[in-house]
Chain A
């Protein structure tokens, strides 16, 4: 019987820079992060610490036994969400459950059920690779013989056997990431959290990781992973939530999400100049669902076909007195979906 995850209107507001507990390495909020004294005119009563809203009403429902992806750019609130769900970040508001346990009230029961791979390797540098696994098993009260067997298995599976008895301090980034994942699997958790698991892995190791995630999932385990890589979300996840600025902007299976885009194809166009007349002409082309103009020169065009539209676009531009300067055609993808909702690219 698998274990699900649920959150209800989760909010997190930081009044100081987010601590490393949130694992938010790539935090990129524009809000002021300085904690300097408030401006003099503000006066004692109204003086407020700068606030950073990391989560703004996040409600998720992850089914038992599914691979669920949280997709969003750096600083969207992915790591903070994982921090809250793994008992490591105290939410400002809202509630969350892992299985039947409310996370903030029943932390020990939650910790018992979960395994966590954080964004940055946070290995115990005073230990060797094998010891990291053995002690981790001991924290979860595994009997000595079982821990030894399981540690040996995982070291073998993650191709670390020949370095097993060396201090992890000297490991490469990829090896540290592998031992972090092995550690999270050590006590056979019902729910596995992976925060940007493939960041920094070479393509081969990434494929190995995907296979491990899939086979762990086949054993009935629930997996929540965060990523800013839509190929990964698309390839791995049964359902996805797209998060930006602490809001969930879309949620569903990759196929449904992509299907929800008007048209599916995205043509990013650049003109010498745009005008309402041009927009109207573009809008009127057959197969075009939606046109969004961006900063006077560019237009994003959602349509149900791609390259075959170009000729008509050139003609429409000429009729409106503009010239087509650049075209980029994107096939239906989560990237386009993100762009559609936020006006920004995931990679930005």
Chain B
């Protein structure tokens, strides 16, 4: 593997991301931040939601933003690049194996996912104002969870981007992304599903559950959450699975 080639591929993605910076920012952060404003600010200030909800919501919003950013950053360009115009061809002909070209996409997506996560927390905090109670007492664990979430998001984008065509993007959002967000324990802790025992088991197949619960466990440990002994292994297993699946989809799509 040539590091020079790999870093040139990364530089290309960074260059394009910089060029589309504002659009990317709005695309990934506007929706979660609007949600923060309504539920974290309007609803809590009016007394419809308890004050504590602010701190429950923030880690979930971070999880959503990271997953959305990672999935979109990788899948959207890939869908276009694999279309009729085959824009990706030049990179497939770069002197590096096809697997590394795909993995570069994952790494680039991870950066964008992490950036989104790191931007959304202070932005949401600013919107909500006082009453947020987050802890940064476990930086290593927090970093590990954030990295695992970013990897899952970017690899998921790779798998989706290589599996669907341009005409199915809308369908992807209604069919995959929307249910994942709603059942992803982002807007509520997993324990809140206790009164729906079957649903509570079923949502465990949703990767976003581990992302939300993992970030909640490190940022707002005062609230009930899944044990870290479940979250980290689950996230790592998902990472491995989705990366492997995404790479094989990419190989299939790239070669005739």
Contact = CB atoms under 8 A, between A and B. Distances in A.
A binds B: yes
Interface stretch (B6-14, B179-187, B190-198): B6-14
B85 A122 contact: yes
Interface residues of A, number: 39
Given A124-B87, A127-B16, A141-B5, A112 B95 contact: yes
B15 interface: yes
Contacts of A131: 15
Given A108-B95, A141-B2, A89 B256 contact: yes
B254 A107 contact: no
A333 to B, nearest CB: 33
Nearest to B89: A122
Contact of B4 (A20, A121, A136, A141): A141
B131 to A, nearest CB: 42
A150 to B, nearest CB: 15
A296 to B, nearest CB: 42
Interface in B3-48: 4-5, 8-9, 11-12, 15-16, 19
Interface-central residue, B5, B8, B84, B89, by most chain A CB under 10 Å = B89
A320 B19 CA distance: 78
B95 A139 contact: yes
Nearest to B84: A20
A227 interface: no
A123 interface: yes
A125 B85 contact: yes
Contacts of A140: 5, 94-95
Given A21-B256, A83-B256, A122-B85, A88 B93 contact: yes
Contacts of B91: 124, 139
B96 interface: yes
B86 A135 contact: no
B138 interface: no
Nearest to B83: A20
Interface string B245-256: 000000001111
B169 interface: no
A18 B256 contact: yes
B11 A90 contact: no
Given A107-B97, A108-B95, A111-B93, A90 B77 contact: no
Given A18-B256, A139-B5, A122 B90 contact: yes
A135 B97 contact: no
Taking residues whose C-beta sits less than 8 angstroms from the other chain, chain B's interface range is 20 to 34
A114 B5 CA distance: 16
A21 B11 contact: no
Contact of A141 (B8, B84, B86, B93): B8
A284 interface: no
Contacts of A14: 256
A46 B84 CA distance: 34
A138 interface: yes
A320 to B, nearest CB: 53
Interface string A233-274: 000000000000000000000000000000000000000000
Contacts of A83: 256
Contacts of A127: 12, 15-16
Given A135-B8, A139-B9, A124 B90 contact: yes
A277 to B, nearest CB: 52
Contacts of B5: 139-141
B141 interface: no
A112 to B, nearest CB: 4
Contacts of B87: 122-126
B92 interface: yes
Nearest to A21: B256
B249 to A, nearest CB: 13
Contacts of B255: 19, 21, 88-90
Given A86-B93, A88-B92, 19 more contacts: A19-B255, A19-B256, A20-B84, A20-B86, A22-B256, A90-B255, A107-B97, A111-B93, A122-B90, A123-B90, A126-B19, A127-B12, A138-B4, A138-B12, A139-B91, A139-B94, A140-B94, A141-B4, A183-B90
7 contacts: A21-B255, A108-B96, A124-B90, A125-B85, A138-B8, A139-B8, A139-B94
Interface of A: 14, 18-23, 80, 83, 86-90, 107-109, 111-112, 114, 116, 118, 120-127, 131-132, 135-136, 138-141, 183
Closest 4 CB pairs of A and B: A138-B8, A139-B94, A89-B256, A21-B256
